[in-house]
Chains A and B, each alone.
Chain A
């Protein structure tokens, strides 16, 4: 019951806070929900659900409805390479795709589910942000540094992150365009929330579900373990140690950061429990018409072998359309290990900031995944808001903003030029995809470097204090 928890917490913290941040958040969140409902009601002729930017072979609701239809007519939902999602999602959302209410637009129930998912995600982001902020203030206090983040504005970084998530056009488009990415994002955020609040069972559940739905969140296990082991983001532990060293006369060592093996062990136990549970549910669901092996082949295998080469905003489809079949396996390994190569160095460098590490992992995987959509970008852009205090002096913010706006407008135009007018070709569209990837790289690089700069600044400040 994460919602009840967070809402309780929200109300508590609103009482603690005297400025009107909470009210502002509620108001804007309600407006965001109303805005989504309005868009659902007047879909116009936007055809969002058939846009390649919004719905990928993995997240398209039309494919899900097809899979459900196949299942209803006693066939394997994975027959015919239409559906590639989870059987659990099929059991939950499938019945909603066929149910029509008189006088309402089609798929209205699904839309409502996605709106709800977005709202819960935002609330969870907000709660996570609050946790992070409390931890940040505590660590600043223990380093005897003045806390400057309070005068940053009326809203705290958690609120801003939640609102950024809710009001991001990408999120809105993914939600209104009936892709299942809001649900996938919800479980990823749930993982982070569970880990940040130290609830190993919740984190394990979120992680297992997110991995089950879209595979790539599997790499989040490292930040989740770190988060549970070390607690939320803090300045480098070296800093505390040197501080303890300086004040050795006090004999206090409460600030010593120890990795809590007990919690990590809890997480592993819960993870295996939930995994078994999910697998059992899946096998029950696919038992009649297929097997678990087919499910793995058609979901994870489909993701890893990049079978569907229809255009999307990622960089893999064009490459694998061009590459000789002979080299295909080799390049599949190269491209997927791209993500894996980055895991370890980043984990070592950013181990004191597990939440930020999770953000970086999510951003990298949404850039290099086989079927990316704007919903993935929506997730990491929302999480970016959580580190507002640390990333306050990030460079290129304006440039990145212009780039994101420009690319997200240019991409549909190029697609139109290629598909409908026939005057352009695939290179036009792929060029925007590459530009988009470049902007994402710049974003990741800049945010990591400014986070490291922030740490350096803290180190400098605290050492200068110690020397005084």
Chain B
């Protein structure tokens, strides 16, 4: 904003003033050299993006209270053998039987109540994700719609709660283990074992200051849905009986009464909803079988909806304990395809070389990074950016973030599928000790996680780029926008030399308001963008049609809408013959505002969007002008413009990216629809960005290109 101001101040300085203030002069210099400045800034912005893996800092534990690994583990082999007994009991049940799911829940509940903890069942209906275009601006609960779902899709979570002996029950730590009660899966049984081992230990310890909730989430309708619905019921109590009654009526028919028998264990199993205090943190624990690993690995997933991340301290604690205490290999997701790109390796070599040279000049300069580290960092950073930009949570932990609870998913994969009971026990011991250590650390917290970063990008499990660093690159990338907008605006509104003598007549010619017609045009196109982004809501109501048909309907309706708008607004604006400079200036301002907004909402989307939109907007110039001049420079500009405007068209960009990654062989028109549908089903702000910022700006750039000047 400050920059715009500067520019505008300069734009408006009357020429006869002998010596304007220094800041104004700076502005005038910047605007008069806007071409040079924008080329330099854009290049610097892109370079800064590629330097990010080099600028990443090592993570450190910022909150002193956490004290990870300061206590020795109390987990014993007894806990593990108990846990293994539970796992055996669960897997030994015949999976073919109709009531195996209910039987498994009963077994689990019996074990839990034998521990002397509170046990409860949580019944839920899995809701189809709905399209809430305005969900982002409203509170989490307002988007909740209590429609009457069919009784077929219900699930039951099992919840165990340990009341902390030392505390008042105001706070809680949540452990989540997704488990499909209907299926027999050895890895899920393993995760139940780990969870139970930790839980049984925690039910005995005396140091607990926060309640522990263990949620065994029924994952038959997806892991996210069950966790999300439990969280919703936890945080938003239903006072009217109508909605819960609805779910209950379903269960009546489905012999759920089996669950309501007298408790076999020490404590009673309640059918009502059990709560503990506010959640300090949540850990989702999963075990997966991945073939061909050299050692036991732990994958950390942290991205929640709209690119929100949990507090970095949580990841730090997990990483510290896993690496330094349990000897697990910690991974975060990365794009493997980046590792095969030649030019990234070459870039890494170059940076390595520069770092070495700098190091030889002055040993204080230690910004060198080895080439493999750089490439790995880039691959991780790319994946981190992509996951955040999509705005789709990468696991059940995403549901917690909507309620401001820091949560991550820990996916542990053993080296081999253990057949030897001893090896298996050792694996469970290490995993359970990790969880125990994390719980113990979080238990020490006096307040919510707040010390460390919320806005960061990971380049490796132990390295991160904080907001203060990655924002510089983004700021450099978008800085030319207000500059060029101001310089175009000044060019377009230069006073004509003929009107210099004010004695002739009273000039009221509304010169400074000339931008209004351009603003009107920009506004109409953005209104069209809103229309286009709302269309899928209505199109998706059409029954029995394929994604391909949906996308074709959508495309044709949007084009039709654009044509209608064009015809409506064309007739009055034609005689004015608006200058394209004004249009471009207003377009660039709109893009600037949009990118700025998006960088606050979801930085990764804004960064990726800026890489496409900034060159598209800055280079746009009427093709007619370039054709008239017919020089090499103008020819180059035509080629770039045509290329960029092709790539910037969202479906085209999508298919090109997809083709590059997976080959152009099997393309389906419906894929784009499916992709967008996943975006809006998860209330991703990226969808709104594409519809209301990117697409209108693309149309406006096309209008500038085809302008008849």
Q: Are B8 and A399 in contact (CB under 8 A)?
A: yes
Contact pattern, A 409-431, Cβ under 8 Å of B = 1, otherwise 0: 11011101100111100000000
In the bound complex, what is the Cα–Cα distance between A420 and B404 (angstroms)?
A: 7
B92 neighbours in A (Cβ, 8 Å): none
Q: Are A398 and B515 in contact (CB under 8 A)?
A: yes
Q: Are B139 and A420 in contact (CB under 8 A)?
A: yes
Q: Which of A79-87, A143-151, A334-342 contacts B (4 or more CB under 8 A)?
A: A143-151
* Residue in chain B with minimal CB distance to A401: B519
A457 and B513 in contact, given A148-B508, A402-B589, A410-B600 (Cβ under 8 angstroms): no
Q: Is A112 an interface residue (CB 8 A)?
A: no
In the bound complex, what is the Cα–Cα distance between A394 and B512 (angstroms)?
A: 7
A399 and B5 in contact, given A45-B132, A45-B135, A406-B596 (Cβ under 8 angstroms): yes
Q: Is B292 an interface residue (CB 8 A)?
A: no
B98 neighbours in A (Cβ, 8 Å): none
Residue from B143, B401, B593 in contact with A409 in the complex, judged by beta carbons closer than 8 Å: B593
**How many interface residues does A have (CB within 8 Å)?**
41
A396 and B134 in contact, given A414-B600, A423-B455, A435-B1 (Cβ under 8 angstroms): no
Q: Are A392 and B136 in contact (CB under 8 A)?
A: no
B596 neighbours in A (Cβ, 8 Å): 406, 410
In the bound complex, what is the Cα–Cα distance between A31 and B612 (angstroms)?
A: 38
A403 neighbours in B (Cβ, 8 Å): 1, 4
Contact pattern, B 407-434, Cβ under 8 Å of A = 1, otherwise 0: 0000000000000000000000000000
Q: Are A421 and B308 in contact (CB under 8 A)?
A: yes
B515 neighbours in A (Cβ, 8 Å): 397-398, 401
Q: Is A348 an interface residue (CB 8 A)?
A: no
Residue from B8, B138, B401 in contact with A47 in the complex, judged by beta carbons closer than 8 Å: B138
A421 neighbours in B (Cβ, 8 Å): 308, 401, 404
Q: Is B294 an interface residue (CB 8 A)?
A: no
Q: Is A464 an interface residue (CB 8 A)?
A: yes
A395 and B12 in contact, given A47-B138, A47-B139, A402-B4 (Cβ under 8 angstroms): yes
* Residue in chain A with minimal CB distance to B482: A402
B138 neighbours in A (Cβ, 8 Å): 45-47
A422 neighbours in B (Cβ, 8 Å): 404, 454
A464 neighbours in B (Cβ, 8 Å): 503
In the bound complex, what is the Cα–Cα distance between A120 and B664 (angstroms)?
A: 62
Q: Is B541 an interface residue (CB 8 A)?
A: no
Q: Are B600 and A457 in contact (CB under 8 A)?
A: no
Among B132, B489, B510, B596, max chain A CB count under 10 A is at B510
B143 neighbours in A (Cβ, 8 Å): 45
In the bound complex, what is the Cα–Cα distance between A423 and B448 (angstroms)?
A: 12
Q: Is B240 an interface residue (CB 8 A)?
A: no
* Residue in chain B with minimal CB distance to A419: B139
In the bound complex, what is the Cα–Cα distance between A403 and B601 (angstroms)?
A: 19
B71 neighbours in A (Cβ, 8 Å): none
* Residue in chain B with minimal CB distance to A450: B512
Q: Are B142 and A152 in contact (CB under 8 A)?
A: no
Q: Shortest CB–CB separation between residue B231 and chain A, in angstroms?
A: 15
B1 neighbours in A (Cβ, 8 Å): 403, 406, 435
B5 neighbours in A (Cβ, 8 Å): 399
* Residue in chain B with minimal CB distance to A400: B8
Q: Shortest CB–CB separation between residue A436 and chain B, in angstroms?
A: 10
**How many interface residues does B have (CB within 8 Å)?**
42
Residue from A140, A397, A398, A416 in contact with B137 in the complex, judged by beta carbons closer than 8 Å: A416
In the bound complex, what is the Cα–Cα distance between A230 and B136 (angstroms)?
A: 53
In the bound complex, what is the Cα–Cα distance between A161 and B454 (angstroms)?
A: 46
Q: Is A329 an interface residue (CB 8 A)?
A: no
Residues 92-125 of B contacting A (Cβ, < 8 Å): none
Q: Is A389 an interface residue (CB 8 A)?
A: yes
B4 neighbours in A (Cβ, 8 Å): 399, 402-403
Q: Are A46 and B512 in contact (CB under 8 A)?
A: no
B586 neighbours in A (Cβ, 8 Å): 398
In the bound complex, what is the Cα–Cα distance between A392 and B597 (angstroms)?
A: 31
Q: Is B506 an interface residue (CB 8 A)?
A: yes
A416 neighbours in B (Cβ, 8 Å): 136-137
A396 neighbours in B (Cβ, 8 Å): 8, 12
Contact pattern, A 358-393, Cβ under 8 Å of B = 1, otherwise 0: 000000000000000000000000000000010011
In the bound complex, what is the Cα–Cα distance between A387 and B204 (angstroms)?
A: 77
Q: Are A47 and B142 in contact (CB under 8 A)?
A: yes
Q: Are A393 and B511 in contact (CB under 8 A)?
A: yes
Q: Is A460 an interface residue (CB 8 A)?
A: yes
Q: Is B337 an interface residue (CB 8 A)?
A: no
Q: Shortest CB–CB separation between residue A255 and chain B, in angstroms?
A: 19
Residue from B134, B508, B519 in contact with A152 in the complex, judged by beta carbons closer than 8 Å: B508
A406 neighbours in B (Cβ, 8 Å): 1, 593, 596-597
Q: Are A461 and B503 in contact (CB under 8 A)?
A: yes
Q: Is B242 an interface residue (CB 8 A)?
A: no
Contact pattern, B 1-18, Cβ under 8 Å of A = 1, otherwise 0: 100110010001000000
A409 neighbours in B (Cβ, 8 Å): 593, 597
A249 neighbours in B (Cβ, 8 Å): none
Q: Is B257 an interface residue (CB 8 A)?
A: no
Q: Shortest CB–CB separation between residue A409 and chain B, in angstroms?
A: 6
Q: Are A423 and B511 in contact (CB under 8 A)?
A: no
Q: Shortest CB–CB separation between residue B511 and chain A, in angstroms?
A: 6
Q: Is A92 an interface residue (CB 8 A)?
A: no
A414 neighbours in B (Cβ, 8 Å): 600
B140 neighbours in A (Cβ, 8 Å): 420
Q: Shortest CB–CB separation between residue B14 and chain A, in angstroms?
A: 9
Q: Are A148 and B597 in contact (CB under 8 A)?
A: no
Q: Is B507 an interface residue (CB 8 A)?
A: yes
Q: Is A20 an interface residue (CB 8 A)?
A: no
Q: Is A323 an interface residue (CB 8 A)?
A: no
B468 neighbours in A (Cβ, 8 Å): none
Q: Are A148 and B506 in contact (CB under 8 A)?
A: yes
In the bound complex, what is the Cα–Cα distance between A460 and B507 (angstroms)?
A: 13
Q: Shortest CB–CB separation between residue A48 and chain B, in angstroms?
A: 10
Q: Are B513 and A392 in contact (CB under 8 A)?
A: yes
Contact pattern, B 493-514, Cβ under 8 Å of A = 1, otherwise 0: 0000000001101111111110
Q: Is A101 an interface residue (CB 8 A)?
A: no
A392 and B489 in contact, given A420-B139, A460-B502 (Cβ under 8 angstroms): no
* Residue in chain B with minimal CB distance to A421: B308
Q: Is A44 an interface residue (CB 8 A)?
A: yes
In the bound complex, what is the Cα–Cα distance between A413 and B602 (angstroms)?
A: 11
Q: Are A413 and B600 in contact (CB under 8 A)?
A: yes
Contact pattern, A 32-59, Cβ under 8 Å of B = 1, otherwise 0: 0000000000001111000000000000
Q: Are B137 and A392 in contact (CB under 8 A)?
A: no
Contact pattern, B 455-494, Cβ under 8 Å of A = 1, otherwise 0: 1000000000000000000000000000000000100000
A405 neighbours in B (Cβ, 8 Å): 593
Q: Shortest CB–CB separation between residue A297 and chain B, in angstroms?
A: 34
Q: Are A152 and B510 in contact (CB under 8 A)?
A: yes
In the bound complex, what is the Cα–Cα distance between A412 and B138 (angstroms)?
A: 10
Residues 312-338 of B contacting A (Cβ, < 8 Å): none
B506 neighbours in A (Cβ, 8 Å): 140, 145-146, 148, 457-458, 461
In the bound complex, what is the Cα–Cα distance between A389 and B135 (angstroms)?
A: 43
Q: Lowest 10 A-B CB distances belong to which pairs?
A: A399-B8, A423-B454, A422-B404, A395-B12, A406-B593, A45-B142, A148-B508, A392-B508, A398-B515, A402-B589
Known pairs A152-B508, A396-B12 / 13 extra A-B pairs, C-beta < 8 Å: A45-B134, A47-B142, A389-B508, A393-B508, A395-B12, A398-B512, A406-B597, A409-B593, A412-B137, A413-B601, A416-B136, A417-B600, A422-B404
- A-B pairs with beta carbons under 8 Å apart, 11 shown: A45-B132, A45-B138, A148-B507, A398-B512, A409-B593, A409-B597, A421-B401, A421-B404, A422-B454, A423-B308, A458-B506
